[in-house]
Structure 1
Amino acid sequence: MKFASVRIITDDVDRLVSFYEKVLEVSAERPAPVFAELVLPSCTLAIGHSQTVQLFGAGSAEAANNRTVILEFRVHDVDAEYERLKPLVGEWVKEPATMPWGNRAILFRDPEGNLVNLFAPVTEEAIQRFGGRR
């Protein structure tokens, strides 16, 4: 089995796509007005309109109603990303800090309220832990 993507359901695809294009510095692929994918080397972030949930017959997904998932992206320099994103991010949860498990990280909310963590391994143990991952 191969992990394909994480999908965020929203009522405003354009707003969320624009936000993530700026955060991830990648252009979204838009195969339909109600769906987009931001393809990165290590993962794909999909964004779908709440109308798309009905196509799956799954009426349980609700836009802007998730408080259990953190989207995490490994970056080269957390502090530089923090400075770059200051004008874009409306709600910072955690300014740059080194976590007990050895990652330097920032945590913020996207326009839908989803948590986003940008991190970089900085201790020797954390660097070794991520050494074999792409």
Structure 2
Amino acid sequence: MKLGEVCIETNDVIKIAEFYRKILNISSDCSDEIHQYIITKGTTLTVYNNGAVKNNQNQNISIAFTVDDVDAEYERLLKLGVHIIDAPKLQPWGAKNMHFCDPDGNHIYFRSLPE
């Protein structure tokens, strides 16, 4: 068994999908206001509005993306105006992580793993 999809539920699909495309450096022509695929290969990342009002107090989930060079991604995201909560830091388990949030307050980590 493998994880098939992570879906971010939001009241503003356009805004959140644009944010993820920007931070993940992905382009798309999709402008659907209800459902958008951001990543379609491997584990899918989607953004969806099911019509229910969200409180944007997401405290029980985070999304981590493994990147080649977390320090380079840190500099790139700063130039994009992303507010970084924690700059890249080596963790006790060996990963080097940085932490930020999307516009809805979902916690995101970019990490580089030791070889």
Q: TM-score range by the shorter chain?
A: 0.7 to 0.9
Give the deviation of 1:43 after TM superposition: 2.1
Structure 1, unmatched stretches of 5+, are: 54-60, 128-134
Structure 1 equivalent of residue 11 of structure 2: 11
Aligned residues: 115
**Counterpart mapping for 1:1-134 below 5 A:** 1-28=1-28, 30=30, 32-39=32-39, 41-51=41-51, 62-122=54-114, 127=115
Q: 1:42 Cα deviation (Å)?
A: 3.8
SS of residue paired to 2:14: helix
TM-score of the pair, normalised by structure 2: 0.86
1:30 Cα deviation after fit: 4.0
Distance 1:65 1:28, change over 3 A: farther
SS of equivalent to 1:86: helix
Structure 1 runs of 4+ with >6 Å offset: none
Cα distance in 2 for partners of 1:112, 1:28 equals: 21
* TM norm structure 1: 0.75
Unaligned stretches of 5+ in structure 2? none
CA contact (8 A) 1:28 1:36 kept: no
Which SS does the other structure have where 2:79 is aligned?
Answer: coil
Structure 2 residue identity aligned to 1:102: G
Q: 1:93 to 1:40 in 2, by over 3 A?
A: farther
Give deviations 1:30-64, integer Å, cap 9, x for gaps: 4943001111544221100141x6xxxxxxx8352
| Bigger share in helix | 1
Percentage of identical aligned residues: 31
Structure with more contact order per residue of length (Cα contacts < 8 Å, sep ≥ 6)? 2
Q: Secondary structure in 2 aligned to 1:36?
A: strand
